[in-house]
Amino acid sequence: MRVYWEDTDGGGVVYHARYLNFFERARTEWLRALGMNQSVLAREHGVVFAVRRMEIDFRQAARLDDELRVGAQPVHLGAARVVFEQAMHRAADGALLAGAKVQVACLAADSFKAVRLPAWIRQKMVENMEQETR
């Protein structure tokens, strides 16, 4: 991901709230890499994911034109929630810019009430978690 002018304040430093956007995109792309498109999940499987809680540790400033590497890795699966650990690094020097712990709830697309993670989604996530620990 690249930092654009719209992501920064007048001094070219990424505005703190924009980190949420970068972390959200990384989780979305992580799901996509597992074959789960969020609009298809909502439309065909009746589930959506919503952030319930997020804790961010800002380490260094991201700046205009920085290329960022942002990861997302699930570290805990509950009945209706997934906890991700995320890290944002500057590609040029590998510097850790921010870390996040994000709790995401699985909701029914029509009512926005918590529902259990569908078994096939849970299985894909478990397989990914096991792959990452090898």
What is the tens place of the pLDDT at every residue in 20-64?
Answer: 999 999 999 999 999 999 999 999 999 999 999 999 999 999 999
pLDDT at residue 129 is higher than 90: no
Domain residue extents for the chain: 5-133
Give the CATH number of domain 5-133; options: 1.10.510.10, 3.50.50.60, 3.40.50.720, 3.10.129.10. Answer: 3.10.129.10
What is the pTM assigned to this prediction? 0.92
Taking the C-alpha atoms of residue 101 and residue 131, their distance in angstroms, rounded to an integer, is 20
pLDDT at 49: 96
> Is residue 65 annotated as a catalytic residue, yes or no?
no
Cβ pair 85, 100 in contact under 8 A: yes
Of 9, 57, 65, 110, which is the active-site residue?
Answer: 9
pLDDT at 120: 93
